[in-house]
Amino acid sequence: MARDKTILKALAGETQATPPIWMMRQAGRYLPEYRATRAEAGDFLSLCYNPDLATEVTLQPIRRYGFDAAILFADILLVPQALGADLWFVTGEGPRLSTVTTQADFDKLGPAADIHETLNPIYQTVRNLSGALPSETTLIGFAGAPWTVATYMVAGRGTPDQGPAHALKDENRPVFEALMDRITEATILYLSAQIDAGAEVVKVFDSWAGSLKGKDFEDFAVAPAKRIISALKEKHPGTPIIAFPREAGDGYIGFHAKTGADCVAVDDSVTPEWAAANVQKDGCVQGNLASRHMVTGGEDLVRETRKVVEGFKNGPHIFNLGHGITPDADPDNVQLMIDTIRGG
Protein backbone atom coordinates (compact mmCIF):
# COMPACT_ATOMS: atom_id res chain seq x y z
CA MET A 1 0.00 0.00 0.00
CA ALA A 2 2.80 2.42 0.86
CA ARG A 3 4.09 2.33 -2.71
CA ASP A 4 0.70 3.59 -3.94
CA LYS A 5 0.96 6.80 -1.92
CA THR A 6 1.34 9.77 -4.23
CA ILE A 7 3.77 11.63 -1.95
CA LEU A 8 6.08 8.63 -1.83
CA LYS A 9 5.90 8.27 -5.60
CA ALA A 10 6.99 11.88 -6.04
CA LEU A 11 9.80 11.44 -3.51
CA ALA A 12 10.96 8.37 -5.45
CA GLY A 13 11.30 10.55 -8.54
CA GLU A 14 8.03 9.80 -10.33
CA THR A 15 6.39 12.53 -12.42
CA GLN A 16 2.61 12.47 -11.90
CA ALA A 17 -0.16 14.09 -13.92
CA THR A 18 -1.65 15.58 -10.74
CA PRO A 19 0.87 16.50 -8.05
CA PRO A 20 0.21 15.38 -4.48
CA ILE A 21 -0.71 18.19 -2.09
CA TRP A 22 -0.13 19.19 1.50
CA MET A 23 0.48 22.55 3.19
CA MET A 24 2.99 23.71 5.74
CA ARG A 25 1.12 24.56 8.98
CA GLN A 26 -2.00 22.93 7.53
CA ALA A 27 -3.10 22.12 11.09
CA GLY A 28 -3.34 25.55 12.60
CA ARG A 29 -5.06 28.72 13.61
CA TYR A 30 -6.87 29.36 10.31
CA LEU A 31 -9.15 26.39 11.10
CA PRO A 32 -12.01 26.86 13.59
CA GLU A 33 -11.72 23.24 14.69
CA TYR A 34 -8.06 23.80 15.55
CA ARG A 35 -8.89 26.85 17.65
CA ALA A 36 -11.47 24.80 19.57
CA THR A 37 -8.96 22.02 20.30
CA ARG A 38 -6.28 24.54 21.27
CA ALA A 39 -8.72 26.08 23.76
CA GLU A 40 -9.36 22.62 25.19
CA ALA A 41 -5.62 22.07 25.64
CA GLY A 42 -5.23 25.38 27.46
CA ASP A 43 -2.00 26.56 25.82
CA PHE A 44 0.22 25.76 22.86
CA LEU A 45 2.82 23.61 24.62
CA SER A 46 0.11 21.61 26.40
CA LEU A 47 -1.36 20.90 22.98
CA CYS A 48 2.01 19.76 21.60
CA TYR A 49 2.61 17.41 24.52
CA ASN A 50 -0.90 15.90 24.66
CA PRO A 51 -0.80 12.97 22.19
CA ASP A 52 -4.58 12.67 21.92
CA LEU A 53 -5.13 16.36 21.18
CA ALA A 54 -2.05 16.64 18.94
CA THR A 55 -3.34 13.65 16.98
CA GLU A 56 -6.72 15.33 16.65
CA VAL A 57 -5.36 18.59 15.25
CA THR A 58 -3.09 16.71 12.84
CA LEU A 59 -6.11 14.82 11.52
CA GLN A 60 -8.38 17.88 11.18
CA PRO A 61 -7.07 19.13 7.80
CA ILE A 62 -7.03 15.57 6.48
CA ARG A 63 -10.72 15.17 7.31
CA ARG A 64 -11.61 18.58 5.92
CA TYR A 65 -9.53 18.59 2.72
CA GLY A 66 -8.17 15.12 2.01
CA PHE A 67 -4.55 16.23 1.72
CA ASP A 68 -2.13 13.59 0.48
CA ALA A 69 0.01 13.92 3.61
CA ALA A 70 -0.39 14.74 7.27
CA ILE A 71 2.47 16.43 9.10
CA LEU A 72 2.98 15.78 12.78
CA PHE A 73 1.70 18.62 14.97
CA ALA A 74 4.61 19.77 17.12
CA ASP A 75 7.08 22.69 17.19
CA ILE A 76 10.73 23.03 16.24
CA LEU A 77 11.55 24.46 19.69
CA LEU A 78 10.66 21.27 21.55
CA VAL A 79 14.21 20.07 20.87
CA PRO A 80 15.85 22.98 22.74
CA GLN A 81 13.42 22.39 25.59
CA ALA A 82 14.37 18.71 25.63
CA LEU A 83 18.03 19.78 25.80
CA GLY A 84 17.27 21.78 28.92
CA ALA A 85 16.39 25.27 27.67
CA ASP A 86 13.45 27.03 29.28
CA LEU A 87 10.63 27.50 26.74
CA TRP A 88 7.39 29.38 26.97
CA PHE A 89 5.01 31.12 24.58
CA VAL A 90 3.76 34.68 24.92
CA THR A 91 0.23 35.08 23.55
CA GLY A 92 0.27 37.14 20.38
CA GLU A 93 4.07 37.36 20.35
CA GLY A 94 5.42 33.84 19.99
CA PRO A 95 8.10 31.76 21.68
CA ARG A 96 10.59 32.76 24.33
CA LEU A 97 13.60 30.73 25.46
CA SER A 98 16.41 31.00 27.93
CA THR A 99 19.47 32.06 25.93
CA VAL A 100 22.75 30.36 25.10
CA THR A 101 25.43 33.00 24.51
CA THR A 102 28.35 31.84 26.68
CA GLN A 103 30.20 28.65 27.54
CA ALA A 104 28.46 28.67 30.93
CA ASP A 105 25.05 28.80 29.22
CA PHE A 106 26.02 25.95 26.93
CA ASP A 107 27.25 23.86 29.85
CA LYS A 108 23.76 23.96 31.36
CA LEU A 109 22.35 22.01 28.41
CA GLY A 110 21.90 18.28 28.70
CA PRO A 111 23.36 15.67 26.34
CA ALA A 112 21.53 14.91 23.12
CA ALA A 113 20.94 11.34 24.24
CA ASP A 114 18.69 12.55 27.07
CA ILE A 115 16.05 14.25 24.91
CA HIS A 116 13.67 11.32 24.64
CA GLU A 117 12.17 11.56 28.11
CA THR A 118 10.79 15.00 27.27
CA LEU A 119 9.86 14.08 23.70
CA ASN A 120 8.18 10.72 24.33
CA PRO A 121 4.68 12.29 24.02
CA ILE A 122 5.61 13.42 20.51
CA TYR A 123 6.57 9.88 19.55
CA GLN A 124 3.24 8.68 20.93
CA THR A 125 1.45 11.18 18.69
CA VAL A 126 3.31 9.70 15.71
CA ARG A 127 2.26 6.20 16.74
CA ASN A 128 -1.34 7.36 17.11
CA LEU A 129 -1.31 8.93 13.67
CA SER A 130 0.30 5.93 12.06
CA GLY A 131 -2.73 3.92 13.05
CA ALA A 132 -5.38 6.59 12.48
CA LEU A 133 -4.59 8.07 9.07
CA PRO A 134 -6.34 6.90 5.90
CA SER A 135 -4.32 4.27 4.08
CA GLU A 136 -3.57 6.64 1.18
CA THR A 137 -2.23 9.45 3.40
CA THR A 138 1.50 9.78 4.03
CA LEU A 139 2.71 10.66 7.55
CA ILE A 140 5.46 13.30 7.68
CA GLY A 141 7.60 13.93 10.74
CA PHE A 142 9.83 16.97 11.09
CA ALA A 143 12.41 18.96 12.97
CA GLY A 144 13.99 22.37 12.70
CA ALA A 145 17.41 22.58 11.08
CA PRO A 146 20.29 23.31 13.47
CA TRP A 147 20.92 26.87 12.25
CA THR A 148 17.27 27.87 12.58
CA VAL A 149 16.93 26.28 16.02
CA ALA A 150 20.20 27.92 17.10
CA THR A 151 18.93 31.38 16.11
CA TYR A 152 16.13 31.03 18.67
CA MET A 153 18.37 29.54 21.33
CA VAL A 154 20.90 32.37 21.03
CA ALA A 155 18.39 35.24 20.86
CA GLY A 156 15.74 33.75 23.13
CA ARG A 157 13.09 34.61 20.53
CA GLY A 158 12.55 35.11 16.84
CA THR A 159 14.45 38.04 15.33
CA PRO A 160 14.10 39.84 11.98
CA ASP A 161 17.69 39.27 10.85
CA GLN A 162 18.98 36.49 13.14
CA GLY A 163 21.53 39.07 14.30
CA PRO A 164 22.32 37.57 17.74
CA ALA A 165 23.18 34.18 16.21
CA HIS A 166 25.36 35.81 13.56
CA ALA A 167 27.12 37.78 16.29
CA LEU A 168 27.82 34.66 18.36
CA LYS A 169 29.02 32.85 15.24
CA ASP A 170 31.47 35.65 14.50
CA GLU A 171 32.55 36.53 18.06
CA ASN A 172 32.57 33.23 19.95
CA ARG A 173 32.97 30.53 17.35
CA PRO A 174 33.72 27.66 19.79
CA VAL A 175 30.43 28.15 21.69
CA PHE A 176 28.46 28.60 18.48
CA GLU A 177 29.91 25.47 16.89
CA ALA A 178 29.36 23.46 20.07
CA LEU A 179 25.72 24.55 20.10
CA MET A 180 25.27 23.64 16.44
CA ASP A 181 26.84 20.26 17.07
CA ARG A 182 24.59 19.54 20.06
CA ILE A 183 21.44 20.52 18.13
CA THR A 184 22.54 18.40 15.17
CA GLU A 185 23.06 15.33 17.38
CA ALA A 186 19.67 15.85 19.01
CA THR A 187 17.94 16.34 15.66
CA ILE A 188 19.27 13.05 14.34
CA LEU A 189 18.01 11.21 17.43
CA TYR A 190 14.65 13.01 17.36
CA LEU A 191 13.93 12.29 13.70
CA SER A 192 15.12 8.71 14.01
CA ALA A 193 12.70 8.16 16.89
CA GLN A 194 9.88 9.66 14.80
CA ILE A 195 10.68 7.21 12.01
CA ASP A 196 10.74 4.32 14.47
CA ALA A 197 7.29 5.46 15.68
CA GLY A 198 5.82 5.42 12.17
CA ALA A 199 6.80 8.56 10.24
CA GLU A 200 7.14 7.63 6.57
CA VAL A 201 8.91 10.83 5.53
CA VAL A 202 10.75 13.46 7.56
CA LYS A 203 11.34 17.10 6.76
CA VAL A 204 14.07 19.42 8.00
CA PHE A 205 12.92 23.06 8.18
CA ASP A 206 15.70 25.65 7.86
CA SER A 207 13.42 28.67 7.99
CA TRP A 208 16.29 31.17 8.39
CA ALA A 209 18.79 29.61 5.96
CA GLY A 210 18.46 32.67 3.73
CA SER A 211 20.39 34.83 6.19
CA LEU A 212 23.49 32.63 5.78
CA LYS A 213 25.74 33.81 2.96
CA GLY A 214 28.74 32.33 1.17
CA LYS A 215 30.82 29.92 3.21
CA ASP A 216 28.47 30.30 6.18
CA PHE A 217 25.67 28.79 4.07
CA GLU A 218 27.88 25.82 3.24
CA ASP A 219 29.07 25.40 6.82
CA PHE A 220 25.82 25.95 8.71
CA ALA A 221 23.01 25.08 6.29
CA VAL A 222 24.49 22.49 3.91
CA ALA A 223 26.89 20.64 6.23
CA PRO A 224 24.41 20.02 9.11
CA ALA A 225 21.72 18.92 6.63
CA LYS A 226 24.19 16.50 5.06
CA ARG A 227 25.16 15.12 8.46
CA ILE A 228 21.53 14.65 9.55
CA ILE A 229 20.45 13.07 6.27
CA SER A 230 23.48 10.78 6.10
CA ALA A 231 22.89 9.50 9.64
CA LEU A 232 19.18 8.93 9.01
CA LYS A 233 19.81 7.20 5.68
CA GLU A 234 22.28 4.86 7.37
CA LYS A 235 19.76 3.82 10.00
CA HIS A 236 16.56 4.14 7.92
CA PRO A 237 17.63 3.66 4.29
CA GLY A 238 14.09 3.54 2.92
CA THR A 239 12.86 6.78 4.48
CA PRO A 240 12.71 9.82 2.17
CA ILE A 241 13.85 13.19 3.51
CA ILE A 242 12.70 16.67 2.47
CA ALA A 243 15.00 19.64 3.09
CA PHE A 244 13.76 23.25 3.16
CA PRO A 245 16.51 25.88 3.18
CA ARG A 246 14.07 28.79 2.92
CA GLU A 247 15.12 31.82 0.87
CA ALA A 248 18.37 30.10 -0.12
CA GLY A 249 18.25 31.65 -3.61
CA ASP A 250 21.15 30.25 -5.62
CA GLY A 251 21.87 28.04 -2.62
CA TYR A 252 18.99 25.85 -3.75
CA ILE A 253 21.12 24.82 -6.74
CA GLY A 254 22.81 21.51 -6.02
CA PHE A 255 21.20 21.15 -2.59
CA HIS A 256 19.93 17.65 -3.42
CA ALA A 257 23.40 16.39 -4.29
CA LYS A 258 25.25 18.23 -1.52
CA THR A 259 23.01 16.94 1.26
CA GLY A 260 21.48 13.70 0.00
CA ALA A 261 17.92 15.07 0.33
CA ASP A 262 15.27 13.24 -1.69
CA CYS A 263 13.32 16.48 -2.16
CA VAL A 264 14.15 20.16 -1.84
CA ALA A 265 11.31 22.48 -0.85
CA VAL A 266 11.48 25.99 -2.32
CA ASP A 267 9.87 29.20 -1.12
CA ASP A 268 8.03 31.69 -3.31
CA SER A 269 10.97 34.08 -3.72
CA VAL A 270 11.93 31.93 -6.71
CA THR A 271 9.67 31.17 -9.67
CA PRO A 272 8.53 27.67 -10.58
CA GLU A 273 10.30 28.08 -13.93
CA TRP A 274 13.60 28.92 -12.26
CA ALA A 275 13.24 26.13 -9.71
CA ALA A 276 12.34 23.59 -12.40
CA ALA A 277 15.41 24.51 -14.44
CA ASN A 278 17.85 24.74 -11.54
CA VAL A 279 16.56 22.46 -8.76
CA GLN A 280 13.99 19.98 -10.09
CA LYS A 281 16.55 18.68 -12.59
CA ASP A 282 18.22 17.00 -9.60
CA GLY A 283 15.10 15.44 -8.06
CA CYS A 284 11.74 16.08 -6.46
CA VAL A 285 10.81 19.69 -5.68
CA GLN A 286 8.16 20.85 -3.21
CA GLY A 287 6.40 24.21 -3.42
CA ASN A 288 5.77 27.00 -3.97
CA LEU A 289 2.49 29.01 -4.06
CA ALA A 290 2.72 32.27 -2.09
CA SER A 291 0.87 31.97 1.22
CA ARG A 292 -0.92 35.29 0.68
CA HIS A 293 -3.20 33.63 -1.87
CA MET A 294 -4.78 31.64 0.97
CA VAL A 295 -5.94 35.01 2.31
CA THR A 296 -6.88 36.86 -0.87
CA GLY A 297 -8.28 33.98 -2.96
CA GLY A 298 -10.14 34.71 -6.18
CA GLU A 299 -8.85 34.50 -9.73
CA ASP A 300 -5.32 35.33 -8.63
CA LEU A 301 -5.28 32.17 -6.52
CA VAL A 302 -6.55 30.04 -9.39
CA ARG A 303 -4.11 31.55 -11.90
CA GLU A 304 -1.05 31.29 -9.64
CA THR A 305 -1.93 27.74 -8.57
CA ARG A 306 -2.09 26.68 -12.21
CA LYS A 307 1.20 28.43 -12.87
CA VAL A 308 2.92 26.39 -10.14
CA VAL A 309 1.46 23.12 -11.45
CA GLU A 310 2.44 24.01 -15.01
CA GLY A 311 5.93 25.09 -14.04
CA PHE A 312 6.77 21.81 -12.34
CA LYS A 313 4.76 19.42 -14.54
CA ASN A 314 7.76 17.84 -16.26
CA GLY A 315 9.32 16.37 -13.14
CA PRO A 316 8.58 15.03 -9.66
CA HIS A 317 6.64 17.65 -7.70
CA ILE A 318 4.80 17.95 -4.40
CA PHE A 319 2.46 20.94 -4.37
CA ASN A 320 2.80 23.13 -1.30
CA LEU A 321 2.96 26.75 -0.27
CA GLY A 322 6.18 28.74 -0.29
CA HIS A 323 5.92 28.99 3.48
CA GLY A 324 3.32 28.15 6.14
CA ILE A 325 -0.33 29.09 5.83
CA THR A 326 -1.09 32.15 7.94
CA PRO A 327 -3.75 32.47 10.69
CA ASP A 328 -5.77 34.97 8.61
CA ALA A 329 -6.22 32.52 5.72
CA ASP A 330 -9.73 31.64 4.55
CA PRO A 331 -10.39 27.88 4.73
CA ASP A 332 -12.50 28.18 1.56
CA ASN A 333 -9.44 29.37 -0.35
CA VAL A 334 -7.60 26.18 0.60
CA GLN A 335 -10.42 24.19 -0.93
CA LEU A 336 -10.30 26.35 -4.06
CA MET A 337 -6.58 25.67 -4.39
CA ILE A 338 -7.11 21.92 -4.05
CA ASP A 339 -10.00 21.92 -6.54
CA THR A 340 -7.87 23.86 -9.01
CA ILE A 341 -5.02 21.35 -8.77
CA ARG A 342 -7.13 18.23 -8.88
CA GLY A 343 -9.75 19.55 -11.27
CA GLY A 344 -7.35 20.97 -13.84
Report the catalytic residues. 25, 29, 38, 75, 152
Contact predicate 119/193, CB 8 Å: yes
Dihedral angle of Cα 275, 276, 282, 287, to the nearest 10 degrees? 60
